[in-house]
Amino acid sequence: MLVVHKFGPAWGQPDVSPFVVKLETWLRLASIPYDTKYGDVRRAPKKKLPYVLDDGVAIADSRFVIEHLETKQGRPFDAHLSPAQRVTATAFQSMMEEHLYFVLLYERWQLDANWARFVPTMRDILANAGVPGPLRGLVANMARRQVLGALQAQGTGRHSPAEVANIGARIVDAIAAQIGEGPFFFGAEPSTIDATAYAFVAGLLDTPFDGPVRDAAVRHAALRAYVDRVRARAWGQA
């Protein structure tokens, strides 16, 4: 049995991490049965979640898990995409997972008002990972320092909130323009990029974090409809 190691649910979503939401959404779109377990980043193969155990074999990183399962099944989930659509999917995947991700981190972890909203969820996640109650505040603050350090190193943390908003809104506008009325990223049938887009757009729309990037997503009514549609398809709820 495939076991996904995750942080834990938050804000009505299956997980606090967009990468876990992506992986679980993909597994559901691909009709691959799986179990879940609360993971501990310290014991994860790459010190990040998600990772999976597939019949006891550990595979880390949502991208490599998907590739592994496609190889095992002998059919790519995206077989119906044209070469041009694959190029577009690769570009959007990088844009969301390697760029919009840091915007999300900035808004959740660096802006004080949003961090205050995040702390109760962090405490739940730390409880899932087995951190004792009295230590949770301390560990949450250590995690915040670590993320702020990563944001500085990557560069997004050095921008002003307005500059980050500008970057984030452009990406959100690009996602909305590509999806249009859908129903999915490339038309009638979902593909792997829908799992990523769902995770990141829902991570903006369906979380308690205020900010101009979320406002940019809210301005696109089609994105709300898209998130509800992917959720209904993968998770069976609108």
Ligand X SMILES: N[C@@H](CCC(=O)N[C@@H](CS)C(=O)NCC(=O)O)C(=O)O
Beta strands in 43-119, from DSSP E residues, in sequence order: 51-54, 57-60
CA distances from 2 to 34, 45, 214, 219 (A): 5, 16, 34, 38
Told to check if 63 binds ligand X by CB under 6 A, we report: yes
Burial 1-18 (b: 16+ CB within 10 A, else e): ebbbbbbbbbeebbbbbb
Which of 13, 17, 114, 207 lies at the binding interface for ligand X (CB under 6 A)?
17
With CB under 6 A as the contact rule, which of the stretches 29-37, 55-63, 177-185, 206-214 interacts with ligand X?
Answer: 55-63
Told to check if 61 binds ligand X by CB under 6 A, we report: yes
CB of 218 to ligand X, least distance (A): 22
CB of 108 to ligand X, least distance (A): 10
Tell me whether residue 19 or residue 198 sits nearer to ligand X (CB atom): 19
What is the rounded CA–CA span in Å between residue 222 and residue 226?
6
Tell me whether residue 213 or residue 229 sits nearer to ligand X (CB atom): 213
Told to check if 121 binds ligand X by CB under 6 A, we report: no
Tell me whether residue 60 or residue 174 sits nearer to ligand X (CB atom): 60
What is the rounded CA–CA span in Å between residue 217 and residue 224?
8
What is the rounded CA–CA span in Å between residue 66 and residue 76?
9
Told to check if 41 binds ligand X by CB under 6 A, we report: yes
Tell me whether residue 104 or residue 164 sits nearer to ligand X (CB atom): 104
Told to check if 49 binds ligand X by CB under 6 A, we report: yes
β-strand partners of 53: 3, 58
Told to check if 15 binds ligand X by CB under 6 A, we report: no
